[in-house]
Amino acid sequence: MSKLRFVNSLLISTAICFFLPSIAARGGHSDYIHPGDGNSSFHGTARNLFAQEETRPSLELTRGYMTNDDLEKAMKDFTKRCSKISRLYSIGKSVNGFPLWVIEISDRPGEIEAEPAFKYIGNVHGDEPVGRELLLRLANWICDNYNKDPLAQMIVENVHLHIMPSLNPDGFSIRKRNNANNVDLNRDFPDQFFSFNEDLSLRQPETMAVMTWLRDIRFTASATLHGGALVANFPWDGTEDKRKYYYACPDDETFRFLARIYSKSHRNMSLSKEFEEGITNGASWYPIYGGMQDWNYIHGGCFELTLEISDNKWPRASELPTIWDYNRKSMLNLVASLVKTGVHGRIFSLDQGKPLPGLVVVKGINYTVKAHQRYADYHRLLAPGQKYEVTASSPGYKSKTTTVWLGENAVTADFILIPETSSRGNLLRSSCDCSCKSCGQPLLTQFFTETNNGITITLFVVVVFLCFLLQRRVRFNLWKQRQSSRRSITV
């Protein structure tokens, strides 16, 4: 590592330590001792991360966990065994050159569809390996059950699920929290309050890979898996004045809803004595800066949770089946929430009947969701049990607003936007190359004027029929996404 990179890392660590006298990982602290054997697990606390030397788990404790080579082979074997519903790809390489592998699970892997995408990331911190083990178990469970389990089938057919078991393979190989450059990857993202991470030349390759990944794929939601506590954490992670208190983001209600899905589906997370309902606002627990979670929400349009899935950072491998059993339903239900809840739909243009990339906003929530550039589909996650005023807009078209009651099931709301009118009240027209005097008139007006009544009536019938076909096309474009219980409206 260059002297400049080392000095920068030292300055960032010092700054964060100054901001936060007692700092943990999101994947950090535990005073819990596993029943039966007080020495059965590595109990790591990161609340004093920069104040003391990091304790590494013993080599003995790593037995039973997959090495990086084992994990790579297992992922390749998985995509061969489940080739019909999966593919394997890499988003980049770690500092030491190990590929950052991702499994995509879908009935049409590698294709762009008008469906939401979800990502799971494990092993952000090298000494928190439970997530990498559980994520491969998740992939295998879906592969084994998607033809017989309704939840697995729903995920495969309606979501593009991306699973990255290890973001920090270098840290894992040396059993340390940080990457090979000794940088905490969950403090390396651009921060909304402080600019110490703004120098792109000093960004870690693992961090850059994730940032590029979100530019290439539009994720609706995601979660990172950590260890050292048992709680579902949601934004904001930091505060503007560096103090510890509940600091809500614009979608606080929705994030609380998503966090509760995980917590209440878990065997005992919601029974926590430290965290009410097993969930917490990040800044209320302890503020961090440069975290992945807030960056995803602000810059990636992605609703991300930070999930602490085991009290022990590095439990014995013999405990992994139990931890998987405790987390399996939560992991599945969180992904399925993209289909079961929220407001989903597409935006079309009335004049051409084509998908229209646009923006979707909800009254009272200062956050904008972008529709996909190709299919103009949007997926707006919202807490159920409320009435929402949803508006779709696109440059050159009149915005449209509808009110939806979001109950227990998702709602499909497709928007058909009308072109804006000019100052004279006529529809905006495309340019044409002709010499006739009436070229500047709207096409239908010109035709009605210059034809006899019989042709006019025939044209009218044709136009009505085309409008009917357009309505049918819009209504059925999302047939694959809609569940039998989902209400559907067209605006």
CATH of the domain at 223: 3.40.630.10
- Give strand ranges (E) for 356-428: 359-362, 365-370, 377-380, 386-393, 400-406, 411-417
Shared domain for 390 and 243, answered yes or no, is no
Shared domain for 321 and 361, answered yes or no, is no
User: Between these two residues, 421 and 444, which has the higher pLDDT value?
Assistant: 421
- What is the full DSSP assignment across 346-368? EEEETTT--B---EEEETTEEEE
Tell me: pLDDT of 490 over 90.
no
Shared domain for 187 and 200, answered yes or no, is yes
pLDDT at 430: 33
397 phi/psi in degrees, rounded to 5: -130, 150
Q: 104, 113, 206, 308: which one is catalytic?
A: 308
pLDDT digits (tens, 9 = 90+) for 246-261: 999 999 999 999 999 9
Is cis: bond before 236, omega within 30 of 0? yes
Shared domain for 399 and 273, answered yes or no, is no
Residue 219's nearest CA partner among 139, 304, 342, 124 is: 304
Flag the least confident range among 139-148, 181-190, 294-303, 415-424: 415-424
pLDDT digits (tens, 9 = 90+) for 461-483: 554 555 555 555 545 444 444 44
pLDDT at 484: 41
Shared domain for 175 and 289, answered yes or no, is yes
DSSP label at 86?
E
In a domain, 257, yes or no: yes
Flag the least confident range among 39-48, 114-123, 217-226, 256-265: 39-48
Shared domain for 336 and 348, answered yes or no, is no
Say how far apart CA 237 and CA 307 lie, in whole Å.
13
In a domain, 470, yes or no: no
Mean pLDDT, the chain, whole residue set: 83
pLDDT at 471: 56
- 170 token code pair: 């270098």
pLDDT digits (tens, 9 = 90+) for 198-223: 887 889 999 999 999 999 999 999 99
Say how far apart CA 146 and CA 111 lie, in whole Å.
19
Q: Which of 384, 419, 454 is the last residue of a domain?
A: 419
Residue 134's nearest CA partner among 221, 227, 56, 206 is: 227
**Number of domains, the chain:** 2
In a domain, 388, yes or no: yes
Q: Which of 340, 361, 388 is the last residue of a domain?
A: 340
Shared domain for 167 and 154, answered yes or no, is yes
In a domain, 446, yes or no: no
In a domain, 28, yes or no: no
pLDDT at 39: 35
pLDDT digits (tens, 9 = 90+) for 144-159: 999 999 999 999 999 9
User: Between these two residues, 36 and 397, which has the higher pLDDT value?
Assistant: 397
Using DSSP's 3-state secondary structure scheme, residue 9 falls into helix
Shared domain for 336 and 356, answered yes or no, is no
Shared domain for 299 and 365, answered yes or no, is no
Shared domain for 366 and 333, answered yes or no, is no
In a domain, 86, yes or no: yes
Shared domain for 324 and 356, answered yes or no, is no
Q: Which of 277, 306, 340 is the last residue of a domain?
A: 340
Shared domain for 323 and 351, answered yes or no, is no
In a domain, 440, yes or no: no
Instruction: Tell me how far CA of residue 229 lies from CA of 78, 212, 269, 312, in angstroms.
Output: 30, 30, 10, 7
pLDDT at 461: 56
Flag the least confident range among 15-19, 91-95, 341-345, 385-389: 15-19
308 included as an active-site residue = yes
Question: Alpha-carbon dihedral of residues 321, 325, 329, 330, nearest 10 degrees?
Answer: -80
Q: Residue 384: give its domain's CATH number.
A: 2.60.40.1120
Residue range 293-314: mean pLDDT, rounded: 97
Residue 114's nearest CA partner among 488, 489, 416, 476 is: 476
In a domain, 49, yes or no: no
pLDDT band at 361 (very low <50, low <70, confident <90, very high): very high
DSSP label at 412?
E
Range of the domain at 110: 63-340
Predicted TM-score of the model (pTM): 0.81
Query: Counting beta carbons within 10 angstroms of the beta carbon of residue 388, is it exposed (0 to 12), middle (13 to 18) or buried (19 or more)?
Result: buried
pLDDT digits (tens, 9 = 90+) for 366-411: 999 999 999 999 999 999 999 999 999 999 999 999 999 999 999 9
